[in-house]
Amino acid sequence: MPDITVIGGGLAGSEAAWQAAELGCSVELWEMRPVKETPAHRTEHFAELVCSNSLGNNALETASGLLKEELRRLNSIILRCADENSVPAGGALGVAREDFPRAVTETIHEHPKIEVVRREATELPDGPTVIATGPLTSDALVEKIEVLSGETLYFYDAASPIIHRDSLDESVVYLASRYGKGEAAYLNCPMTEEQYYTFVEDLSTAELSPIKDFEEDMYFEGCLPVETIARRGRDTLRFGPMKPVGLPDPRTGGIPYAVVQLRQDDAEGRLFNIVGFQTRLKWGEQRRVFRTIPGLEGADFARMGVMHRNTYLPANRMLEATMRIRADLSGAPLFFAGQLTGVEGYTESTAMGHIAGTNAARLARGEEPITMPTGTMMGALAHYITTKEGTLQPINSNWGLVPAVPKKENGKRLTKPERRQRQARLALEELEEFMGIGSAV
Ligand SMILES: Cc1cc2nc3c(=O)[nH]c(=O)nc-3n(C[C@H](O)[C@H](O)[C@H](O)COP(=O)(O)OP(=O)(O)OC[C@H]3O[C@@H](n4cnc5c(N)ncnc54)[C@H](O)[C@@H]3O)c2cc1C
């Protein structure tokens, strides 16, 4: 029996297997392709990119760039192969679609401690295991995980955009709960009649991202995208998610014609999601249309709205920040990784693979699993998905997750890029300290 079994040879599983093997453990990596296909993958390669060939921004003053730099410093195999197979992509880390997964596959095959097994997991193996089967986990395995979670997993993802609070125009938005009930919990963006109808027109005619065949079911069965509601009638939104009743604007005392509500998304109140605005508009269209909402003209999006099939765990109820299943749910040495844990995106999935693989190896070696510091982007993501109150929606890396820095330094106002650079430097210092090699930033 291997020291560790990793199920799923995607971005997270490849990273997890590699990290565990590098820590000296023998690893079996199970991948069901090509024995059983998913609706999105096209090859037998590990770490195949199912859609875009970009791993996101590479600049250190972006959250995604910081996450990549942390992974590089932690000897990530995915980042190494991506860097070695990069293609020009502006500030992003674009990779050659064929060469990158081929390089990951060859590197995994060449590792003396990893044995590749091409089979579908339909049961949870005994012994230390990392499950990294992604958003398109096969049905048989989903059933087994559901027994552990005690609930139906989320099959279709309809997420609203998330916005940084510090980018809102606070002279326009106001804090209130409907009819003043309970604590004032929502930020409200008031609209006049004219603004409302212009917005509905813009929303109804904005361009949609294409839906692939396998996503059709979700579109009809899932909750309705905001643009679909808008197309049903000019006033439908005003009686739905944009209902203004009970929300007087404190500046006028009157009830606006319509209201867009923002709900706090993180414990610290740095991030807010737009209530009921799940959407499949193209990302550029989301920025264009949603920035016409009063108060959101300068909105800085932490995550755009997305709709596609997605299987992910309520990690906030199921997992420790080490990616191990909570002891009260199972005593098994079971870890989860990748998109299945409630993160969104190639790099984020890789990061959770790194944490799970490292900790599974530590456990197999008789050591305690470790939690990454929340001042790092990796640690902050793990913390967010495992502590989020209420319903967990898939989340990208973003600056709202790590501690903010003061807006002024020595009396001088810092620009946003300057603040981001400082946040990145602090995160990397914490990482270096965590790695036990002192600050070298
Ligand atoms: C349609 C679609 C488009 C997307 N587009 C983007 C994008 O453009 N950019 C982005 O950053 N993210 C995108 N994502 C999210 C993307 O899936 C993740 O970012 C990333 O691929 C997740 O990595 P992962 O390792 O968790 O899962 P995956 O990369 O999907 O890997 C999971 C692996 O597990 C295997 N597997 C599944 N079930 C079993 C089983 N029972 N036994 C053995 N093996 C199994 C699968 O074959 C697969 O190889 C998209 C997702 C979907 C579904």
pLDDT level of residue 169 (50, 70, 90 thresholds): very high
Longest Cα separation, the chain: 71
Q: What is the pLDDT of residue 437?
A: 60
CATH code (residue 235): 2.40.30
Domain annotation covers residue 440: no
Separation of CA 132 and ligand 1 centre (Å): 9
Select from 290, 214, 224, 225 the least CA-distant residue to 51: 214
Residues 90 and 187 grouped into a single domain: no
Residue whose CA is closest, atom 20 of ligand 1?
346
Residues 188 and 141 grouped into a single domain: no
Residues 235 and 113 grouped into a single domain: no
Q: Check if 342 has its Cβ closer than 6 Å to any atom of ligand 1.
A: no
Separation of CA 190 and ligand 1 centre (Å): 39
Coil, helix or strand for 53?
coil
Residues 174 and 132 grouped into a single domain: no
Last residue of a domain, one of 252, 285, 306: 306
CATH code (residue 27): 3.50.50.60
Separation of CA 50 and ligand 1 centre (Å): 7
Q: What is the pLDDT of residue 156?
A: 63
Stronger pLDDT, 230 or 97, i.e. the higher one: 230
Domain annotation covers residue 415: yes
Q: Which amino acid makes up residue 419?
A: R
pLDDT level of residue 217 (50, 70, 90 thresholds): very low
Token representation of residue 89: 């992509």
Query: How far is the C-alpha of 261 from the C-alpha of 248, rounded, in Å?
Result: 13
Give bridge partners of residue 208 from the DSSP assignment. 281
> 11 CB contacts (<8 Å, ≥6 apart)?
47, 78, 338, 346, 349, 350, 353
Q: Check if 31 has its Cβ closer than 6 Å to any atom of ligand 1.
A: yes
Distinct helix (H) and strand (E) counts, the chain:
13, 18
Q: Give the range with max mean pLDDT: 52-56, 190-194, 271-275.
A: 190-194
Average pLDDT of 176-196? 88
Residue whose CA is closest, atom 11 of ligand 1?
345
Percent of the chain predicted with pLDDT > 70: 93
Q: How many CB atoms lie within 10 A of CB 106?
A: 12
Distance of CA 198 to the CA centre of its chain: 32
pLDDT level of residue 440 (50, 70, 90 thresholds): very low
Report whether 267 contacts 389 (CB < 8 A): yes
Separation of CA 76 and ligand 1 centre (Å): 18
Separation of CA 308 and ligand 1 centre (Å): 12
Select from 63, 68, 8, 19 the least CA-distant residue to 369: 19
Residues 321 and 302 grouped into a single domain: no
Domain annotation covers residue 68: yes
pLDDT level of residue 218 (50, 70, 90 thresholds): very low
Domain annotation covers residue 185: yes
Last residue of a domain, one of 274, 306, 338: 306
Domain annotation covers residue 441: no
Residue with tokens 């000897």: 75
Separation of CA 352 and ligand 1 centre (Å): 13
Residues spanned by the domain of 291: 162-306
Residues 420 and 317 grouped into a single domain: yes
Separation of CA 79 and ligand 1 centre (Å): 17
DSSP-assigned letter for residue 239: G
Query: How far is the C-alpha of 136 from the C-alpha of 212, rounded, in Å?
Result: 14
Last residue of a domain, one of 306, 333, 356: 306
pLDDT tens track for 317-365 = 999 999 999 999 988 999 999 999 999 899 999 999 999 999 999 999 9
Ligand 1 atom closest to 55 (CA): 11
Separation of CA 45 and ligand 1 centre (Å): 12
Domain count, the chain: 2
Separation of CA 130 and ligand 1 centre (Å): 15
Q: Give the range with max mean pLDDT: 41-55, 60-74, 87-101, 224-238.
A: 60-74
Q: Check if 32 has its Cβ closer than 6 Å to any atom of ligand 1.
A: yes
Domain annotation covers residue 388: yes
Residue with tokens 């909105």: 299
Q: Check if 424 has its Cβ closer than 6 Å to any atom of ligand 1.
A: no
Average pLDDT of 132-152? 90
Which of 28, 133, 154 gets mutated to test ligand 1 (max ligand atoms within 8 A of its CB)? Answer: 133
Q: Check if 280 has its Cβ closer than 6 Å to any atom of ligand 1.
A: no
Domain annotation covers residue 266: yes
Q: Across all residues in the chain, what is the average pLDDT? A: 91
Q: Check if 338 has its Cβ closer than 6 Å to any atom of ligand 1.
A: yes
pTM for the model = 0.77
Ligand 1 atom closest to 122 (CA): 41
Q: What is the pLDDT of residue 155?
A: 61
Ligand 1 atom closest to 49 (CA): 21
Average pLDDT of 186-196? 96
Q: Give the range with max mean pLDDT: 77-91, 150-164, 200-214, 301-315.
A: 77-91
Q: Check if 132 has its Cβ closer than 6 Å to any atom of ligand 1.
A: yes
Which of 308, 349, 393, 397 gets mutated to test ligand 1 (max ligand atoms within 8 A of its CB)? Answer: 349
Residues 55 and 189 grouped into a single domain: no
Residue with tokens 């069965």: 221
Residues 21 and 49 grouped into a single domain: yes
> How many angstroms separate the Cα of 268 from the Cα of each of 164, 169, 364?
12, 19, 35
Residues 335 and 409 grouped into a single domain: yes
Residues 127 and 224 grouped into a single domain: no
Ligand 1 atom closest to 309 (CA): 53
Domain annotation covers residue 439: no
Average pLDDT of 95-116? 95
Residues 170 and 298 grouped into a single domain: yes
Residue whose CA is closest, atom 4 of ligand 1?
51
Q: What is the pLDDT of residue 284?
A: 95
Average pLDDT of 222-251? 91
Which of 51, 155, 309, 341 gets mutated to test ligand 1 (max ligand atoms within 8 A of its CB)? Answer: 51
Residue 154 pLDDT > 80, yes or no? no
Residues 37 and 176 grouped into a single domain: no
